[in-house]
Structure 1
């Protein structure tokens, strides 16, 4: 009698197998190199992973071997493990290893646990394969006693509480936020060289947790449900109330609307899973997006570099232990230390004006960027988008007041119309400048909006793209193309954002990131 499958709210078990002929299985393994495939097979045969990745072995009562079998089954996991160890020492092609896995040792299919390990092995092989977005975990104020059910809780800026993270409890709470007609599979992974804990979430549209969840809808013999499956990664950094979320990766043709809804469901469900009674949290975007997880850890991690970007990076080195509050006294020019240091030094040839300008540009670049923005540091940001909302400079700002009055006195009768137009512009500018232009005071935001509404503010969008954006800007400063002395601070990457709005020379957060 066939088993009866009942829809349930449980998650997919790790032992649930996917047929080896499924195109998703072949795609997952073909992305890996030969060395990674053999190492992955050895991880499956490890004693800790073996219950979730049982290979196809020869039965004890089955003494007859199939002569047409290209890959005869082994008798024990130890024998199979020794076989893959010997393959490491031999040369061969990746296709042979994939064929050995899918048609020989795991011919009855791969489990969801094995597929998860394959995707995580691909991430280890290609760290920039995912696009991460950083989020802050912020505490919320407790609801009021007389508040309504739909009361919007505000962020508690004065609270210093941080959420406690326990993997099993977190998954249990997160599973309660998943819809009943959707099934998920979770897998934790700890990278070798990064201080983060990565959670892989595999989502499939099915109400069942049995083989029916991976069954075929069109009768072709393959798991057609994989066409609508999505995978999301969440990284929990060590020692900081933040997390990083990737965009959902679809196996088949999934619309962008479903991917965005899945990501919004994750962003809404994660803080609820972290919350406890009388201790609620929310996620807030940090406006930092990159494929380089190491770069995000530098800006939004637990180290000192997240608050010391650009030229301030010289104070983030824990070995030097420098501080901007340290008192640095210059050496007197006629002291014994300065005279001893100058003895034995030959005076070099005088530099040409071009060489002097190039040397000064390098010194300015080092002062503005410090130890950041280096091409070989491995912490490159690929894309930065900034919107300028500063008002257009007035005529008095472009030319001095004295020059403007002198030009006005020298104009003749034929230029009276031009003079009248300038006076109208100046009247608008004088009215706008009568407002207080203090950007540091949050109360003056309405006054700034009123000022901007009375003056012309062009919409200018600046987009930087490349393998390492800030390293490229630093090279432009060193080449003298960008004036490093007048360059704003946000062009050095010290704000730690990839999307923002610049008003009055300072960068603001985009879409409520909390930046000032």
Structure 2
């Protein structure tokens, strides 16, 4: 059964309040204002000032925000929040706390040609998903574009069609007429990147998530004759990593000293004057910059030579911040020169920004930039892997902590 946006599920108050607690005060104000605009009652004008006063208290300090939100819900939405409103809360939480979810990315494969290309039409995918799962569950779907990344995010929530009491068997009315007849399950998110043949799923091991994933894989296979297979063995930490590494991005394999190619500073337009190219004009400046250790570190870690003034606090942070901060990387270093001198060990680095921290250590003299290998400057992107005789080899386990 397809549940409408107006359906009000039976959710305990603590569950709703926990969703609000994950959001900032400014986001809560925006969501409540959006809901209030949709209300069409005679009492709306007289209650607008009171609602505004309560929201200002939520944004201020010295008040119990949880009690204020509970009071707002009891006064203005006493029957509870509908599925559209709950989806608003979940989507905002997804954007404000990107590390709270893990993601499994699946790409198209063909037995004959290996990687394959397919087109996902969201409306057809949702229709096939509903046809497949509606005999077993009631289902609600909500599709939203990501405001910053080239992604569409589909929220899918299943409800067990459980009948309560003898009246349910006699009453053939739709299940959504009674909130006590349905048991809601945790939503699953499906990510549809633009222009690439892959689909992402919020990581989960429960039965409901597996059913949704299997249904979508079956739909893609029946329409495009391709099979979806996992890109990485272990899940990715956030959507930024998904878009960065698996989207149409020049930065996925061009970091560190190679970042100038991703920034399109090396490529020149046929309409430009070649004598004005940065390589020609900036050659003397580049030679001067590379004479200092800080200039060499900036070039190797960031792929540029312009160094912000270290006096400003914001500039100091931007100086070392990586394009995609990596919280952890693992390297397995192997030496295969001879069986007698063979060595193997694992190097694990973690922090808020591993390569940004290594850059700062080089600037402060704790590391010699002339002896730092390229795989420690982030030139291979935010990937873990094996180092065999000094050469970097990426592995499938690379993105588990991103």
Q: TM-score, normalised by structure 1?
A: 0.57
Which of residues 127, 131, 149 is equivalent to 1:194?
149
State the secondary structure of the residue aligned to 1:379.
coil
Residues 487 and 210 (structure 1), Cα distance of their counterparts in 2 relative to 1, 3 Å cut: farther
Q: Aligned ranges for residues 47-446 of structure 1 at < 5 Å? A: 50=38, 75=42, 84=51, 93=63, 94-95=65-66, 97-133=68-104, 135=105, 137-140=107-110, 154=111, 156-157=113-114, 162-176=117-131, 178=133, 181-206=136-161, 210=175, 215=180, 225=183, 229-248=185-204, 258-259=205-206, 264-277=210-223, 279-286=225-232, 291-318=237-264, 320=265, 322=267, 359-360=292-293, 362-370=295-303, 375-377=320-322, 379-388=324-333, 390-391=334-335, 393-394=337-338
Q: Which residue of 2 aligns with 1:476?
A: 361
Corresponding residue pairs, total = 362
Asked if the contact 1:200–1:233 (Cα under 8 Å) also holds between the matched residues in 2, the reply is yes
Q: How far apart are 1:169 and its partner, in Å? A: 1.1
Unaligned runs of 5+ in 2: 164-173, 269-273, 306-317
Q: How far apart are 1:361 and its partner, in Å? A: 5.7
Q: How far apart are 1:212 and its partner, in Å? A: 9.2
Residues 14 and 376 (structure 1), Cα distance of their counterparts in 2 relative to 1, 3 Å cut: same
Q: Which moved more, 1:74-83 or 1:277-286?
A: 74-83
State the secondary structure of the residue aligned to 1:110.
coil
Residues 294 and 277 (structure 1), Cα distance of their counterparts in 2 relative to 1, 3 Å cut: closer
Which of residues 353, 369, 376 is equivalent to 1:491?
376
Q: How far apart are 1:479 and its partner, in Å? A: 4.1
Asked if the contact 1:358–1:480 (Cα under 8 Å) also holds between the matched residues in 2, the reply is no
Deviations 1:414-472 (A, max 9, x none): xxxxxxxxxxx66xx9xxxxxxxxxxxxxxxxxxxxxxxxxx664x3332221112212
Question: Cα RMSD between the aligned structures?
Answer: 4.4
Deviations 1:264-292 (A, max 9, x none): 55554433333454532413324786545
